[in-house]
Structure 1
């Protein structure tokens, strides 16, 4: 496998590898690609890229890769925030689809509940990393306040998961720990997304089953 990766990088070059990973991370939030391709723009991508860097340390620098991922994540979120701030809610409502509408409504409640921390926490949740930035922009969050939260969440997420992948491939002694940590992070993000979806379904079912009051029926 290592030889095949070396042959591929010999043809494409490390620069194209960096650009592909950074571009996917950026597009995941800036262009909403994360809605349809969450596994190609999120945790799985970073972990796999880290493994490639660990297998080919002479060709791929883990620190260039990881820092670049963090920067790409920050820039992608900033684009989403600016678009949400200047284009408003119509920017999101134009994106049709029941799942998107539910995700936007869920993200708005998530943002109202956690504020600054929603931007940090949202980076580790598949739907959160896509929708929190524009929702924060629509909600009028101060630019520098969003930037600080974005930097903490995006950089920690990008560097952490990429470096874990690197150690999983390059250091046999810590490989089991790296796989365990990566598995926990990825599983936690998936569980968080499923849990939020289940809670939203319960809330909606409860609202639909609640009988109207006499006053509401008379209107």
Structure 2
């Protein structure tokens, strides 16, 4: 069952709770599909099932609180915490992932927290890693709050309005045009993923590659 279809089977109140909880736990450092749940909930808001405002507020709150808790955990646990997580969850917290995230933090500083909200890897690691690297809490808090609101609120608003427009547009749309649109969307997604993978690989340093 698709996430959106599953969310439609539960009361609106629990959709809000689920959005905040999943986004918060992901921000805390637990690998969960926070963005998928957020987008699916925003699509439901376009259909009038839930309120887009409450979805955005719950997601923003979850993101900010989760990242803050992750920061405190990272501050207390330090690098040994990532070593333990790397042994248990090598797919998400392996040495290669941590090293790459650290390079981004060293290069961009507090902006890595803000923009990290939009990148799957950093969305999980930003809070704990900022704490482990002893980033100033107040600088982290500003980037965390602003990034959480822009990401969660912006995603909810964009998906909501696109869903509203798409629903009206598709009412008079032919099946041929719909198929073309779907193929175009899939092709565009594949192209973007390949571009992201290329940029991801270019970010690696020769030292990291040779250390594998």
| TM-score > 0.5 by shorter chain | yes
Shift of residue 204, structure 1, vs aligned partner: 3.2
Q: How far apart are the structure 1 equivalents of 2:73 and 2:42? A: 31
**Count of residues in correspondence between the two structures:** 191
1:119 aligns with 2:119: no
Given candidates 80, 89, 107, the residue that maps to 2:79 is: 89
CA offset digits 1:58-92 (Å, max 9, x no partner): x4111011111111111111111110001111111
- State which of 36, 41, 51 in structure 1 corresponds to 2:34: 41
Equivalent residues in 2 for 1:165-180, closer than 5 Å:
165-172=159-166
The answer to whether the 8 Å contact 2:96/2:208 transfers is: no
Deviation string, structure 1 residues 152-199 (Cα, Å, up to 9, x no partner) = 1111000111111111222349979xx99xx999x8688546622453
Which of 19, 22, 28 does residue 21 from structure 1 map onto? 19
1:125–1:192: 8 Å Cα contact kept in structure 2?
A: no
**Aligned match of 2:43:** 51
Normalising to structure 1: TM-score of the pair? 0.74
Contact 1:126 1:193 in 2 (8 A): no
RMSD: 3.4
Do the aligned partners of residues 22 and 197 (structure 1) sit closer, same or farther apart at CA in structure 2, a change above 3 Å counting? farther
2:123 match = 129
Deviation of 1:32 after TM superposition, in Å, equals 1.5
2:66 counterpart of 1:76: yes
Cα pair distance change 1:74/1:8, threshold 3 Å: closer
Cα 1:175–1:102, aligned 2, differ >3 Å: closer, same or farther? farther
Name the SS of the counterpart of 2:135 in structure 1.
Answer: coil
* Post-superposition offset of 1:101: 1.5
Determine which structure has more spread, i.e. the larger CA radius of gyration: 1
The equivalent position to 1:196 in structure 2, one of 186, 194, 200, is 200
In the alignment, structure 1 segments of 5+ residues that lack a partner are 35-39, 209-219
**Which structure 2 residue ranges, 5 or more long, are not aligned?**
171-181
